[in-house]
């Protein structure tokens, strides 16, 4: 049974349903992507978009009743090999490249090398082939350099080049996961062009995204999923960002009211940095007051990415840091914690999560001894303690203290890490990219929690590349340039445009105090 639309569609999915236990992850979703179309797939964490992608990739067996056509012919489901043979190609967010191998080797992985009669590798041909593959995407790179040494957008290009290679059948559809999530502005621009080229070559592109700028820049149309259901597919032209947010969340996001500008800058000094330096940062002075939220902005390499670790004591540093008048020693996170400092680090998988341990163990890691009596950790009080925090941060599914961390979606994992620290009632809360890879709803929740922590008297230092986030929560924003705190924005000077301008060094704001 072929519907009228699927004759021209690169991908046509009819009635996709997937049930896990009692939970309907995907509920009767149908979607068509035309040849040469670039389609964004958006929705909150847990909305079913990953499930849909995994069905296409052959990792999940969907419920019966589904029909998937690739270029008009039916796809055998539940078999990754069949998906690949049908022309579906996937690029994951982590790209799946081997960092210490060069582009040639990475392209050859999984498809083999061109060999001479003697079965030795023909490097000359391999090199030419690799160059051509990247040139077709608009990239000219040194194909003999380890890919770890390439720029992020170049690495993404290598991964896409690998996905787009022949491998038996020509690619019909490229599926990307948050392709520009980690890219700074100009590099993201290059990638938009790359995707355009891919689409122009007659391949359909479907990408999963949390980043609305990439949706608006790159996609022609957008499909929104919510709670496993298809909400709508719309052309991007004529769509506003607010309208899209409303589709994703299902309600209007509450307008954040900054309220009256309270002068917190002259309250009690909680965190003081004087002459702090590290690998990229030097001579940084900063004071954060009780109840104040200070943002740190800066482009990659400006020192912004190091500030959180320096304050917390995770790195070697020079200079002095005082918390409520007491010196923080360097390289001793345990003492920093005793003095009331909390750190929600960037890249939670590497720096914060115990992925195969329970939410309970993840949350109480900082002070597992809290519920100890007579030499024994009491599990029940610990569970109820943790449950309170899971509820307070509305972690979903709710109340599952014994779930493993890796059973949660990204936004919920981040909330668990935040719960770990809020439970300590810190006097200094340091956040590094707290909403990286987190959906709109969870992001709003996290911002509210930061507000609350500040309202309860914590001094908050928020390092972020998300300028809207800085505007949303900060009383002051420190701009890092070339390792120095170059400017400070205050009050109504804190706008996305001003921050962006200041980070790239246009002197539009007042000089640092």
Residues making contact with other proteins (CB under 8 A)? 20-23, 25, 45-46, 49-51, 53-54, 57, 90, 92-94, 177-178, 208, 210, 312, 314, 333-334, 336-338, 343, 345, 348-357, 361, 364-369, 372, 375-377, 397, 403-404, 406-411, 413, 420, 436-438
Least distance CB 76 / other proteins (angstroms): 20
Eight-class DSSP state of 424 = T
Task: Check: CB of residue 264 under 8 Å from CB of residue 289.
Answer: yes
Choose between 348 and 484: whose C-beta lies nearer to other proteins.
348
Strand partners, 280: none
Q: Are 245 and 215 in contact (CB under 8 A)?
A: no
Q: How far is the CB of 419 from other proteins (least distance, A)?
A: 13
Residue 208 CB, shortest distance to other proteins, in Å, is 5
Judged by beta carbon, residue 393 or residue 509, the one nearer other proteins is: 393
- Nearest-angstrom CA–CA distance, 338 and 304: 25
Nearest Cα to 265, choosing from 498, 499, 488? 488
**Cα distance between residue 455 and residue 432, in whole Å:** 20
**Measuring CA to CA, which residue among 225, 186, 170 is closest to residue 39?**
225
Report angle CA 493, 494, 498 to the nearest 5 degrees. 80
CA–CA dist 387, 142 (Å, integer): 52
67: Cβ–Cβ under 8 A, 6 or more apart, which residues? 1, 12, 13, 14, 15, 74
Q: Which residues of 301-314 are buried (b: 16+ CB within 10 A; e: fewer)?
A: ebbbbbbbbbbbbb
Measured from the CB atom, is 295 or 345 closer to other proteins? Answer: 345
- When the beta carbons of 6 and 51 are compared against other proteins, the nearer one is 51
Minimum CB separation from other proteins for residue 21, in Å?
Answer: 4
Give the nearer residue to other proteins in terms of CB position, either 303 or 340.
340
Dihedral sign for Cα 106, 109, 110, 114, please.
Answer: positive
In angstroms, give the least distance from the CB of 130 to other proteins: 25
First to last CA, the chain: 70
Residue 8 near residue 34 (C-beta atoms within 8 A) = yes
Residue whose CB is less far from other proteins, 31 or 143 = 31
12, two tokens: 């046509």
Contacts of 74 (CB under 8 A, 6+ apart): 67, 68
Closest approach, Cβ 200 to other proteins, in A, equals 25
Token pair of 347, please?
Answer: 């890249």
User: Would you say 62 or 291 has its CB closer to other proteins?
Assistant: 62
Quick one: 136 or 181, whose CB is closer to other proteins? 181
Query: Least CB distance from residue 351 to other proteins, whole Å?
Result: 6
Based on CB atoms, which residue is closest to other proteins, 420 or 447? 420
Minimum distance of other proteins from residue 477's CB (angstroms): 25
- CB 333 → other proteins: shortest distance, Å? 5
Pairing of strands 221-226, 38-42: parallel
d(CA 138, CA 90): 20
Which residue, 45 or 153, has its beta carbon nearer to other proteins? 45
Q: CB-based contacts of 168: which residues, under 8 Å, 6+ apart?
A: 84, 85
Q: 474: closest CA among 289, 299, 271, 292?
A: 292
CB of 414 to other proteins, least distance (A): 8
The C-alpha atoms of residue 426 and residue 450 are separated, in whole angstroms, by 12
Nearer to other proteins, 309 or 499 (CB): 309
DSSP state, residue 90: E
CB of 216 to other proteins, least distance (A): 19
């Amino acid at each position: 049974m072929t519907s009228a639309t699927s004759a021209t569609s690169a991908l046509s999915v009819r009635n996709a349903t997937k049930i896990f236990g009692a939970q309907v992850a995907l509920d009767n979703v149908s979607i068509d992507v035309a040849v040469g179309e670039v389609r964004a797939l958006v929705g909150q964490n847990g909305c079913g978009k990953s499930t849909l992608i995994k069905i296409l990739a052959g990792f999940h067996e969907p419920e019966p009743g589904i029909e998937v056509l690739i270029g008009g012919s039916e796809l055998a489901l539940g078999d990754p090999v069949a998906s690949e043979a049908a022309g579906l190609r996937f690029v994951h967010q982590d790209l799946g490249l081997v960092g210490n191998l060069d582009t040639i080797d990475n392209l050859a992985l999984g498809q083999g090398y061109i060999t001479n009669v003697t079965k030795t590798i023909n490097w000359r041909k391999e090199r030419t082939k690799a160059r051509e593959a990247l040139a077709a995407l608009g990239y000219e790179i040194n194909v003999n350099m380890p890919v770890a040494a390439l720029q992020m957008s170049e690495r993404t290009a290598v991964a896409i080049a690998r996905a787009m290679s022949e491998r038996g059948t020509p690619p019909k559809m490229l599926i990307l996961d948050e392709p520009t999530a980690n890219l700074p502005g100009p590099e993201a621009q290059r990638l938009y062009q790359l995707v355009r080229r891919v689409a122009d070559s007659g391949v359909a592109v479907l990408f999963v995204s949390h980043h609305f700028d990439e949706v608006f820049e790159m996609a022609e149309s957008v499909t929104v999923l919510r709670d496993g259901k298809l909400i709508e597919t719309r052309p991007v032209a004529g769509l506003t960002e607010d309208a899209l947010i409303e589709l994703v969340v299902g309600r209007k996001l509450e307008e954040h009211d900054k309220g009256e500008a309270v002068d917190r800058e002259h309250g009690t000094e909680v965190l003081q940095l004087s002459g702090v330096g590290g690998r990229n940062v030097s001579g940084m002075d900063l004071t954060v007051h009780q109840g104040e939220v200070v943002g740190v902005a800066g482009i990659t390499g400006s020192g912004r990415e190091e500030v959180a670790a320096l304050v917390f004591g995770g790195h070697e540093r020079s200079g002095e840091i005082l918390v409520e008048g007491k010196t923080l020693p360097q390289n001793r996170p345990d003492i920093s914690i005793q003095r009331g400092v909390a750190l929600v680090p960037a890249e939670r998988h590497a720096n914060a999560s115990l992925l195969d341990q329970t939410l309970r163990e993840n949350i109480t890691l900082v002070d597992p001894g809290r519920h100890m009596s007579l030499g024994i950790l009491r599990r029940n009080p610990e569970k109820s303690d943790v449950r309170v925090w899971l509820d307070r941060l509305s972690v979903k599914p709710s109340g599952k203290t014994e779930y493993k961390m890796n059973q949660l979606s990204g936004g919920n994992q981040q909330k668990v890490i935040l719960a770990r620290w809020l439970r300590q009632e810190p006097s200094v809360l340091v956040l590094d990219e707290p909403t990286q890879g987190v959906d709109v709803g969870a992001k709003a929740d996290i911002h509210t929690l930061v507000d609350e922590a500040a309202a309860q008297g914590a001094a908050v230092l928020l390092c972020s590349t998300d300028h809207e986030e800085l505007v949303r929560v900060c009383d002051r924003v420190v701009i890092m340039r070339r390792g120095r705190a170059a400017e400070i924005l205050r009050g109504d000077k804190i706008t996305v445009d001003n921050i962006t301008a200041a980070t790239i060094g246009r002197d539009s704001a007042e000089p640092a105090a």
